[in-house]
Structure 1
């Protein structure tokens, strides 16, 4: 068991590939991502690189207004103003396409990912859950949390990362084109603009992760209380539950105060831009005096260097989201690609033309995968003739439920054979084998849908007449008919009470 746990933790720690984030993209998603990518690049290049180029020309025109006629000056200002208007319209279109395309494709891909992941989880054998899943919350977390991480990265972080990258590259290219002397001097200051953002970004990420873990502890307390609310009420444990929940939230308060301090320092660290501006203004003034530079050009290059550095710092903070998204995609992909040992989707195997129902266990040896050292059966033998009713009697843990689990091939024995009508069950088609059996467990469960839909789980293509007949056969038709909406009544736990006979209805549909 420890070996499996180590393997699971090793897999969980490693990251997947960037390509795996888009493993559920189809041709339509490829088109949306291509349009969104181009739009994000245009968004990043539009502001500030291209805008500051037009601003540079406008400011130089204003600065040189005394040396040209009024008509020429007005014409230059109008042309630059029109260009800025065109830029504004182009920027609006690019931002709209960027937001729409990435949001749309992320929803499409995440929807398919959740469906595929759920199908893959339901396909796994029971032993997989014994070894790799500690609670149902782990499965829900895989479906919701991991998919949300990927969806958020695709919809928000990818376009933001591309936009910031385009802004950084475009800003520094434009700064070198406009005034390379000032650009060379200002380029090293990118370190002052990037490092504070990276440092505080990592701190905030760590604090966010710790806060999320603390909230998970509080969520666990709430989930346990709500799932066993009758037990809580019966033992008058309301105050204790509230106290436990309050104590679980104490850690989030302390971490929240640290997060607030870190956010304040991160925002305050942006004040270093004023120091960078001061130096660029001083050096730019010397370029104006001794090298014939224009004032508008100096201002534009200074703004390009500053905004480009800030964009680079903002983009680097999204690298952490990339790492989280790739790790989430790897966890999901491992489950999706895993072929279970007992595969319910495998259509190979024999199908008996006629089933008599003779069951035989021959020298069966078995131990649960989670407890391999504790043998449940050692040379277990049992023969149930066809048409006979047999009761297995024994103390708790004697193996009564294990017999049924082995017969339904939830697990495979370590040794020996289990036969139905003389044929080993591992040679039979698994779907067909399970379709020949009906099981009423000790704790019947219903899905959050109508009574009719719950009954149809026994036979999805059954008619309403068959549903009614099955309900009558299980002696449940009368009380179902007395409900406000009869078979269309919504099943809502824990307010809806049900007995074992109702669960038998769906089993009768299989016959």
Structure 2
């Protein structure tokens, strides 16, 4: 790996603000049509609300003229005619137009948000799975952060698309339409109210920014709080951090109260508008309905713009989230599993050779793992890698699978460098069983079929028999349809290992990679599985990594590794002849007197059971396996044990009892705040009567 390649993995620490394009980049043609219709609907929603004010002004003007001319029968008929002409029918048409606009606004934006979010989740997960292992070594993205991006970041974008964007457009349209109405009717009064409206917007935006800042501080503090768990001596630190969070919460509540209270500024606007409007009615003959319409348009327009500006915070967050998503979806890895280029060998013998390989992990470029590593693995032979921990044994398997590329040297398959071969084809010719195998939360059959997606149940059973797993699977109540649980929690370690071996064997790979494949098995199961693996290794190239040297005695070649290079090669009998050799020293360290081992086995067997099992299937069922199977069965037979308690509102109320004074004060204030609008409406009615 060159230095330029290594820099491609580096994470940019600089925080990006994001662009609005990152939110909409996943839209297709249908989404663009939906957003266009939704945009028109949001604009129509904002304009129709202002047109209502225009119609109201006409009705008020008609009523005012009737009051000034006297109430004769002819005037009453004219008044009804004018009201019907200027009010009733137009209101009906306006209501229908508003219904259509609101429907388009709500449906189109919600629909396109769901479509784009689903497409975004799919592309993001595909992009993450596409990255090579080096990306995860260097990138700060962890499993939890991937889940967070899929759930939280994309959910933020979906909420903004479905709610905040249409609300922003609608509120801006309300503001623009309001001032268009105001300047069209009484431009002098509109100019007078403009500074007060802008002041209202500024104050509301200022308070919203304060609230957002304090909320961010509170979240940062609570993350710090969550770090203080575990030992008893951290409880005081936890409490201190929690007290800090409470203080931030109180500050945020205060600022939120000021933000809500700032909406009362609209009354000061009405005070100015009422005074100035009355003078224009008396001295300039301006119709009262027009003055009323201008006042309402300016006041409500200012509130609408304030509400629109409060959405900018969420849109900015969505832009940042979209930028994070876009960074991953547009990142092309150095080792690209989606690249269909490269050679495909129709016929090959599976001979593998490492030529002077040098390698260091991207996260630790100064620590050389393999240095001048040379090893030839003949086709159809079993080669065992032994050595102390950290000598680079597992790294050899990772390089052969092309999870990484070496810094120097070459790895070849039948004389062809593996970086010249198609990556998907290369990996499809291999099957590996790791030291800690991972099972998916599905049935045993589906887990085995992950090794061969188009496999049949007969192939699954054949692979299970080869891995010595068929007997215990058959004894389960649901057999191969038994669910293994999340990460295989419903099966024991030995059962999990045998299922993983079956998953590797069902593919019938040309190259079999076993990294401590039998480490989780008991001695008897290990012996049985070793016999199965020995048969499975025939006619295929096999690389075995083992710490128990007794499991690799029959290997064709044993390669002893030290400090990232091969120091000894040969069969077991050849290497054991060199008493001063590294392999011979490993064997001596692991040797146990045979008599002691037999005595311990005899003692344990006579203590645990009166008689030994007489069949292989009975030997295959260990006490550990049986216990976990019973636990799994019990959990399935008693599903009610997993039911979570119902959430209780009264329990939440009881937890808030220490703050009952603040709660009562808040409730009373909420009642008074709710009464403000009816009182405001009453005085608005008196103003209308005065203007008319």
TM-score (norm 2): 0.67
Conserved in 2, the CA contact under 8 Å of 1:287 and 1:293?
Answer: yes
Match of residue 405, structure 2, among 408, 412, 415? 412
Partner SS state of residue 286, structure 2: coil
Structure 1 gaps of 5+ residues are 223-236
Q: What residue in structure 2 maps to residue 44 of structure 1?
A: 46
Map 1:328-477 to 2 at 5 A. 328-477=321-470
Distance 1:469 1:387 in 2: 21
Match of residue 490, structure 2, among 487, 496, 501? 496
Q: Are the structure 2 counterparts of residues 382 and 367 from structure 1 closer, same or farther at C-alpha, using a change threshold of 3 Å?
A: same
Partner SS state of residue 487, structure 1: helix
CA positional deviation for 1:467: 2.0
Q: What residue in structure 1 maps to residue 79 of structure 2?
A: 73
Conserved in 1, the CA contact under 8 Å of 2:197 and 2:269?
Answer: no
Partner SS state of residue 376, structure 2: strand
Listed one character per residue, the Cα deviations across residues 147-174 of structure 1 (whole Å, up to 9, x for unaligned) are 1222111111110111011101100000
Q: What residue in structure 2 maps to residue 31 of structure 1?
A: 33
Q: What residue in structure 2 maps to residue 230 of structure 1?
A: none
Q: What residue in structure 1 maps to residue 24 of structure 2?
A: 22
CA positional deviation for 1:246: 7.2
1:284 aligns with 2:277: yes
CA positional deviation for 1:123: 0.6
Q: Which deviates more from structure 2 when the two are superposed, residues 80-89 or residues 169-178?
A: 80-89
Structure 2 gaps of 5+ residues are 509-692
Q: What residue in structure 2 maps to residue 53 of structure 1?
A: 54
Q: Are the structure 2 counterparts of residues 404 and 220 from structure 1 closer, same or farther at C-alpha, using a change threshold of 3 Å?
A: farther
Q: What residue in structure 2 maps to residue 202 of structure 1?
A: 209
Partner SS state of residue 460, structure 1: coil
Distance 1:205 1:77 in 2: 48
Partner SS state of residue 9, structure 1: coil
CA positional deviation for 1:129: 1.0
Conserved in 1, the CA contact under 8 Å of 2:27 and 2:116?
Answer: yes
Distance 1:168 1:30 in 2: 25
Distance 1:352 1:500 in 2: 31
Match of residue 84, structure 1, among 87, 91, 96? 91
Root-mean-square deviation over aligned CA pairs: 2.5
CA positional deviation for 1:136: 1.2
Partner SS state of residue 385, structure 2: coil
Match of residue 115, structure 1, among 122, 126, 139? 122
Q: What residue in structure 1 maps to residue 502 of structure 2?
A: 505
Partner SS state of residue 44, structure 1: helix
Q: Are the structure 2 counterparts of residues 238 and 101 from structure 1 closer, same or farther at C-alpha, using a change threshold of 3 Å?
A: farther
Distance 2:146 2:251 in 1: 31
Listed one character per residue, the Cα deviations across residues 451-493 of structure 1 (whole Å, up to 9, x for unaligned) are 2222221111112222222222222223223333332333323
State how many pairs are aligned. 494
Distance 2:356 2:114 in 1: 53
Conserved in 2, the CA contact under 8 Å of 1:120 and 1:335?
Answer: yes
Distance 1:97 1:218 in 2: 45
Q: Which of the two has higher C-alpha Rg?
A: 2
CA positional deviation for 1:279: 0.7
Listed one character per residue, the Cα deviations across residues 353-378 of structure 1 (whole Å, up to 9, x for unaligned) are 23323222111111111111111122
Conserved in 1, the CA contact under 8 Å of 2:109 and 2:161?
Answer: yes
Match of residue 138, structure 1, among 145, 170, 190? 145
Distance 1:251 1:481 in 2: 58
CA positional deviation for 1:95: 1.8
Map 1:262-341 to 2 at 5 A. 262-341=255-334
Q: Are the structure 2 counterparts of residues 261 and 483 from structure 1 closer, same or farther at C-alpha, using a change threshold of 3 Å?
A: farther
Q: What residue in structure 2 maps to residue 232 of structure 1?
A: none
Listed one character per residue, the Cα deviations across residues 283-317 of structure 1 (whole Å, up to 9, x for unaligned) are 11110111101222211111100111111121122
Q: What residue in structure 2 maps to residue 231 of structure 1?
A: none
Specify which structure has the bigger relative contact order, considering alpha-carbon pairs within 8 angstroms and separated by 6 or more residues.
1
Map 1:475-494 to 2 at 5 A. 475-493=468-486
CA positional deviation for 1:259: 1.7
Map 1:97-246 to 2 at 5 A. 97-214=104-221, 216=223
Q: Are the structure 2 counterparts of residues 176 and 399 from structure 1 closer, same or farther at C-alpha, using a change threshold of 3 Å?
A: same
1:8 aligns with 2:5: no
CA positional deviation for 1:5: 8.9
Distance 2:275 2:103 in 1: 39
